[in-house]
Amino acid sequence: GRGGAMPSRRAALLLLLLPPSAALAGEWIARTLPQRTTSASRAELSEQGGQSQSRALVLRVDGRWYNVAEWAERHPGGAYCLKWVAGYDVSAIFHTIHLFGRKNAAAILSQLPELDESQLPARPSTELLVFPDIRRVPKAMQPPIFEDWVLGRDVERDVAAGPPEPFQMRASGDRRAWSAMDAARDTPFKLELEAMLHRNFKSPAHYKATPEHWARIALAFGLTASCLARWAQGDVFATLALPWAQWMLFSSAVHESSHHTLSTNPKLNLAAMFLGMPFIYNPVIWYHQHIVSHHQYPNDENLDVDLHHLRPARMHPHTERDEGASGIHFLFKGYFTTAGMTVLWPIRHLVRRPTARFYTLNTPAPANVPAAQLVLSLLPAAVVNLYPFWLVASGEANPAFGLFLWLFPWLGTGAIWTVMTQVSHAQADAQEPPGYDDYFRWQVESAVDYSVGSRLVPMLTASLNFQSMHHAMPSVCGCHFHKLYPEYKAICERHGVRLNTRADLAEAW
């Protein structure tokens, strides 16, 4: 047998149920969010003062705080996405997501009750700002972590010197204020991108996933479920294929759904977000760092969390250089990055620990998700982590094979994730956008596109190879990008917006 007696088919069936059960868990999480979002009208806010604010759902857009509680349940994208970003400045993503219907979105926003600083919830107002600055502990003061012992990295530090000042990256205050406000400005480039969308799509429903895209999702789902079930039975080939199957499902369904691009039905988008479990990520944790941080501030070393996941590997020229860090650190973090997103990040949030090597927790969960529900979202990862060891303990697999069943899916998904996602913003020309004259220009010039003429690559990457388009119009499903790209490229050329392109994935890296 493969490593010992074959596991029972009953166990395989239980594992086969993980993807749909994860989707149901997602729907349950959104449905049972604590009732902090009771609607409050302008009159209620005025009459009850601070008392009504404990029930408010506050967001900041273009420098103004709004209570969106009354609107949340009618929000076309779903109430959950407003609840998950509550308390943050979402100016930039408000304008990129609503590019197609910007006038309608602005009209609705103008009708929502505004709050001044005195009406904000009881939390200190300093916590209700844009994504907090990323503050890294200098190497000399970093306590050793598991990675240091594995790689033999020098962890000596000058304790007597006392806590030093954190490494000072470029000041982000001006850029933060600029990006939050400038996204609202109707620049010629932004308006022509909007016009392109209206020329090609009659309504938001027409730029969601096509039947062909849904067919690819169904194929990826079936392949993932089959590989997962056969992995539980100890099948070597299914185990080797599982990371690719999980990636194909994530890229086509999960990433798209986190941007609400699969469907106009928010429940469907929410359910699909949980299909990236158990081996890719935890959607509750990932939503903040991907939507609020990365998509608002791409390649801003103070605010884009993505630039710091692989530390001490250096992903941006303006981040601190660690003497002694080498490519092996990038490989180590790369192979285990999905394990970190799926298991480590949620646990850090639950135990209130900062991100290793940082003063702050860079990947917090939304404040509206209780600890019990975050624990629930960890269950699929807990099952696949414990299952191989249960096989070994019960004598159904030998230790070496049990280790293979446990370790390879994590290493495989981590490697694929790192190669496919980190390539999109890591090049020098993408890390130094030439100016801040147009927020949409910044979104385009801080990304890299590759294989733009291929029909196959977009299918394998869910069109992530058209990264600049995805950042400029994140609510459009990537299945439309190949068709739109020639027109999009011509618009960029007319407005002097630089497209950072590479022939293929290899050249991009």
- Sort residue 162 into left (φ over 0), alpha (ψ -120 to 50) or beta: left
Write down the pLDDT at residue 472.
94
Rounded distance between C-alpha atoms, residue 291 and residue 99, angstroms: 16
Mean pLDDT of the chain: 79
Write down the pLDDT at residue 285.
87
Tell me if 308 sits within 8 A of 295, measured CB to CB: no
Residue of 2, 4, 77, 1 lying closest to 396 (CA atoms): 4
Tens digits of pLDDT across the chain (509 residues): 444 445 555 555 555 555 555 555 555 555 544 443 333 333 333 333 333 344 578 888 888 889 999 899 899 999 998 988 888 888 889 999 999 999 999 999 999 999 887 777 655 333 445 455 666 665 555 555 555 544 444 444 433 334 434 434 444 444 554 455 567 788 999 999 999 999 999 999 999 999 999 999 999 999 999 999 999 999 999 999 999 999 999 999 999 999 999 999 999 999 999 999 999 999 888 888 898 888 988 888 778 888 877 777 777 777 776 666 666 767 777 788 899 899 988 998 888 888 877 777 788 888 888 888 888 889 899 999 999 999 999 898 999 999 999 999 999 999 999 888 888 888 888 887 655 678 899 899 999 999 999 988 988 888 899 999 999 999 999 999 999 999 999 999 999 999 999 998 888 87
CA distances to 85, 268, 426 from 358, rounded to whole Å, are 22, 36, 21
pLDDT in tens, 82-105: 988 888 888 889 999 999 999 999
Buried/exposed code over 259-296 (b: 16+ C-beta within 10 A; e: otherwise) = bbbbbbebebbbbbbbbbbbbbbbbbbbbbbbbbbbbb
Write down the pLDDT at residue 507.
87
> What HEC string does 222-287 produce?
HHHHHHHHHHHCCCHHHHHHHHHHHHHHHHHHHHHHHCCCCCCCHHHHHHHHHHHCCCCCCHHHHH
The domain limits of the chain are 184-483
Q: Which helix (H) or strand (E) holds 149?
A: helix 146-151
Write down the pLDDT at residue 299.
84
Write down the pLDDT at residue 240.
97
Tell me if 121 sits within 8 A of 54, measured CB to CB: yes
Write down the pLDDT at residue 57.
85
Residue of 473, 406, 396, 346 lying closest to 29 (CA atoms): 346
Tell me if 26 sits within 8 A of 283, measured CB to CB: yes
Write down the pLDDT at residue 136.
63
Token pair recorded at residue 276? 């990236």
The three-state secondary structure class of 64 is strand
Tell me if 450 sits within 8 A of 465, measured CB to CB: yes
Residue of 341, 211, 217, 229 lying closest to 271 (CA atoms): 217
Neighbours of 500 (CB within 10 A): 22
Write down the pLDDT at residue 144.
57
Q: What are phi and psi of 500, to 5 degrees?
A: -90, 105
- Sort residue 260 into left (φ over 0), alpha (ψ -120 to 50) or beta: left
Write down the pLDDT at residue 2.
47
Token pair recorded at residue 470? 């995805």
Rounded distance between C-alpha atoms, residue 460 and residue 247, angstroms: 9
